[in-house]
Structure 1
Amino acid sequence: MTASHGLAPEPDLDTAPGRVGVVDIGSNSVRLVVFDGLKRVPVPLFNEKILCGLGRGLEGSDQLNPEGVQLALNTLRRFVGLARAMKLQRLDLLATAAVRDASNGPSFVQEVESLCGLPVRVLTGAEESRLSAEGVLSGQPSARGFMGDLGGGSLEVVALGEGAGEAWATLPLGPLRLMDAAGDDRAKIQALINRQLSGQAWLSELEERDFYAVGGAWRALARIHMEQTHYPLHMIHGYSMDREEALELTGLVSHLGKRSLASMTGVNKRRIETLPCAAMLMRRIIELARPKRIVFSAYGLREGWVHNQLEPEVRDSDPLLSAAADWGTREARFGDLGGQIAAWCLPLFPERDEEAERLCLGACHLSDVGWRYHPDYRAEHVLLRVLRAQELCIEHFERAFIGRALYSRYGGNRNASILHYTRQLLSEERVRMADALGRALRLAYTLSGGDPQMLEVTALKPEEDCLVLKIPADAAVPPGQMIEKRLSSLASALKISRSDIQQA
């Protein structure tokens, strides 16, 4: 651990390669997240949150909550101990709204630094907004519209997309702060929300774009909606609902009492107190900005902080392809052959668009990660892993496409009920493409045995009503019965009536 971050208790203590940690000292919770490295899509290895309530009562007292301070200090001491035990390369402590706004915030920071031996970075409102937006964009680079990051003490709203850098605000609209100011009086809470948002006229200029929602209270709303609609995939990141669905949901939740909320499936009991405020706030934002969709992001401040440490060329790389290549390199038998396999397979889909090419390349990077499983279970395990993996930061339909392609690559039954996950998330065209790509991947490994040279000297070529595999006469590995079988299977998936192997 580097001395600059105060995590090297002994000079000869080895560090775990690349591991970094971020502690987010928020108004409601103190959280430690340990990532596997400073890279384009860092994978969380450890994630622990303690609801300390530092900002509880701040609105009236101008002071951090005394009980919250003691719990936070104990929690931070534990987190630093964990960081030492995990041999982190670096640990960064970030404090947000409550510490920033409290009159005794500086003395709390001084006590933390003395206790932990680490500096605390107290983020300004502008920094918190920028980093939260960078976190969202790191996971969803094509995001256009605006993002809202709801913490216990504040709301950061930032416009996303071209020319949006100056449209942002930090507002005192966290649920804890609202409840401190208005108690259980929802009419008063609504008035406070209206007053703060009335000054953000720029929101109305983003009509029909997307609203990217960040924060635990808003993620709880997504979970409720998933349960109500029987959504097939319980992954918050990338989940979306249209404007009317969101208005209906937030209208319902904002009027429910604690007992009714507690009886709803999907509601975390610790979120019951803050859910009505969060729903009222989201509803008012939707009314003002009229977004086309509400898209939920699991990426925010902490991920933005890590992303901000990267070199520009790494920051600008595609998160799907970066994560898939990283995963393939770690777990495939022959290393990452994604580029070579994609070059061999993609000519099968001459009418592919940019999105389809990107999805195919991602699947090619991951085309050998299931080899460790028993052959009878490979297809199912790989499908479920892609659908649920933290290693990938992608949209739900992207998970469905890649998972289905790999299910086909490992010979899964295309009529199996487990594929209902993918059928609900993909068009018929994408289903057919994923199934065909999977069979092409299966053929590629049977043909090459993981040797990229065999892929370089062979080629697949659709010719009229026949799918032709061209192999040099002097190829190191001649064709056999299994090649013929898998070529025929691929032709069937492509709706080509015949297949043939030509040696020349």
Structure 2
Amino acid sequence: MAHLTDPATRAVPETGLADLGLFGKPLFEDPSARALARVGVVDVGSNSVRLVVFDGAARSPAYFYNEKIMCALGAGMAETGHLSPKGRTRALSAMRRFSKLAEGMGLSELTVVATAAVRDASDGQDFCDEVRRETGLRIWVIDGREEARLSAQGVLLGWPGAYGLVCDIGGSSMELAEISGGRVGRRVTSQLGPLKLRDLKGGAKAREAHIKEVMEGLHAQMGAQRDRLFLVGGSWRAIARIDMLRRGYPLHVLHEYRMTPKAVRATVKYIKNCDLDELRSACGVSSTRMALVPYAAEVLSRLVRKFKPKDIAISSYGIREGMLYEQMPQRLRDRDPLIEACRFAEAKDARMPGFGKVLNNFIAPLYRSSPAPRKRLVKAACLLHDVSWRAHPDYRAEVCFDNATRANLGGLKHSERIYLGLALLHRYSNKRENTRFEDLYEMVDERTRQEAEILGKAMRFGAMLWMNKDAERGEMRWFPKKKLLQLRLTEDMLPLFGEVAEARFNSLASSLEAQVEIKTVREGRHD
């Protein structure tokens, strides 16, 4: 397994331009991707110690295992200068457990990094030595700029084309990094972690003055950053959960959750006026995390006020995902994480892997003039159209919607999750009423709901022509000005166009408000 290196010393990456098509060979079948099929990383932070084992489609990995222990290694460091004795005991116990788990999972090794608490503590090296003796695990202690770079790379794993400012908050530090064009630019670190702020003497006024002074310095180093602000870290995710509660937001998926600067101000005020125990219970946040939320909220308020981002996005991907991204060849980084995840799901769960491409080509005439982002979602839907076939028929449509809206998929906005979920729901059902998800439908407008229904019905009909994925099957043509939907089938395919298939074709035409025309063509002729 490759270890962390300075980006300036890395070899020129492979380009792999031939691999970049959305329906090219899925890279999880490539030897370099298989080497990343199961990767274990440990993040020894100031507040928590976490093991993550990634598995699956390497470009958009699934979380095979994810465990966090709240150790608070950095608690009290402002006064003592060394790691919390209690936290150190808990962290060592966690490392013993994680080492045994890795052994049981057959991992060749774990990559372990430690951040602010261990690098700043007088006994940080002693702790690393103790872990090495007890478990055999080597801890790589990284500086703040490297922490910022890895966190930013984690954001790029989920959003390959992302640009803006990444802000990663831990227990003892806060890092900023700019991203653009798939690369990490300037980056800085600070002492604005909530554990440090909690131990600061002088109360609220002293904290406010300190946060303002440090933020002014960060702004001077980073310059104007008024694009998107990506928030990474447990304290930010806790604040996002509270924002969801305050707004009554129906989709409780943190990744790609959006907030406006105005919403941040309202939520910071909401936190100040609420009982933290009641808030913790309502949001499902741990008591240890909730104790730090008010301090993190003060930092976020000043951060937004100073940098003035156009909008704010929560990233569930951070330093651990950045460590995985670090080990990817460039040709793997360049792939679309959504399409890769869908390809992997099809290969693993579909009845006929590879049919998703055939189905997409069959219904593509309906989307000839659609913008690229919509065509991308259509491809994703076709890949996923059959992965829930094992579900009970009475619940299959709802299972499809639930999977699409809540699955661990990168590169997908919340509104796109709803569109994809509705399309897959209509793959199995003509109607979407009377389900437990109706409050989520309102997250997209009526036109989007109608377009998702059309896509679902197109897949529902196309799946009726299921044969060997390489078989000749004819084509569908769409004439939007004439409002004519034409189906051209070979003589060999005609028997598949039975009464159920015909009913589904007519249902699709009805949603398009189109007339239908059926033509028989000789095999191999599509003029």
TM normalised by structure 2 equals 0.87
Mapping of 1:44-123 within 5 angstroms?
44-123=63-142
Q: Match of 1:74, as an amino acid?
A: S
Q: Matched residues in 1 for 2:96 and 2:281: separation?
A: 36
Q: Matched residues in 2 for 1:274 and 1:382: separation?
A: 37
Q: Matched residues in 1 for 2:237 and 2:2: separation?
A: 37
Q: Would the alpha carbon gap of residues 38 and 112 (structure 1) be closer, same or farther in structure 2, given more than 3 Å must change?
A: farther
The aligned counterpart of 2:438 is 420
Q: CA deviation at 1:450?
A: 5.7
2:391 maps to 1:373:
yes
Q: CA deviation at 1:414?
A: 2.7
Q: Matched residues in 1 for 2:250 and 2:500: separation?
A: 36
Q: Matched residues in 1 for 2:305 and 2:151: separation?
A: 23
Which of 151, 162, 176 aligns to 1:143? It is 162
Q: CA deviation at 1:392?
A: 5.2
Q: Match of 1:293, as an amino acid?
A: D
2:475 maps to 1:458:
yes
CA RMSD of aligned residues (A): 2.5
Q: Matched residues in 1 for 2:311 and 2:409: separation?
A: 25
Mapping of 1:382-461 within 5 angstroms?
382-391=400-409, 394-449=412-467, 451-455=469-473, 457-461=474-478
Q: Which moved more, 1:125-134 or 1:198-207?
A: 198-207
2:211 maps to 1:193:
yes
State the Cα deviation string for residues 319-369 of structure 1 (Å, max 9, x = none): 111111111111000013332221211211233111111111111111111
Which of 498, 502, 505 aligns to 1:484? It is 502
Q: Matched residues in 2 for 1:257 and 1:187: separation?
A: 21
SS in 1 for 2:497: coil
The aligned counterpart of 1:42 is 61
SS in 2 for 1:365: helix
Which of 264, 268, 277 aligns to 2:295? It is 277
Report if the CA contact (8 A) 1:251-1:283 is conserved. no
Q: CA deviation at 1:247?
A: 1.3
2:180 maps to 1:153:
no
The aligned counterpart of 2:11 is none
State the Cα deviation string for residues 114-142 of structure 1 (Å, max 9, x = none): 11112211112121110000101111223
TM normalised by structure 1 equals 0.91
Q: CA deviation at 1:257?
A: 6.2
Report if the CA contact (8 A) 2:236-2:296 is conserved. yes
Which of 499, 515, 520 aligns to 1:503? It is 520
Q: Would the alpha carbon gap of residues 18 and 419 (structure 1) be closer, same or farther in structure 2, given more than 3 Å must change?
A: closer
SS in 1 for 2:312: strand
Report if the CA contact (8 A) 1:224-1:267 is conserved. no
Report if the CA contact (8 A) 1:29-1:53 is conserved. yes
Q: Match of 2:325, as an amino acid?
A: H
The aligned counterpart of 1:8 is none
**Unaligned regions of 5+ residues in structure 1, if any?**
5-14
Q: Matched residues in 1 for 2:390 and 2:162: separation?
A: 36
Report if the CA contact (8 A) 2:167-2:174 is conserved. yes
Q: Matched residues in 2 for 1:38 and 1:468: separation?
A: 37
SS in 2 for 1:27: coil
Kindly tell me the number of residue pairs found equivalent between the two proteins: 490
Q: Matched residues in 1 for 2:502 and 2:2: separation?
A: 61
Q: Match of 1:206, as an amino acid?
A: Q
Q: Would the alpha carbon gap of residues 163 and 380 (structure 1) be closer, same or farther in structure 2, given more than 3 Å must change?
A: closer
Which of 189, 193, 199 aligns to 1:180? It is 199
Q: CA deviation at 1:166?
A: 3.6
The aligned counterpart of 2:345 is 327
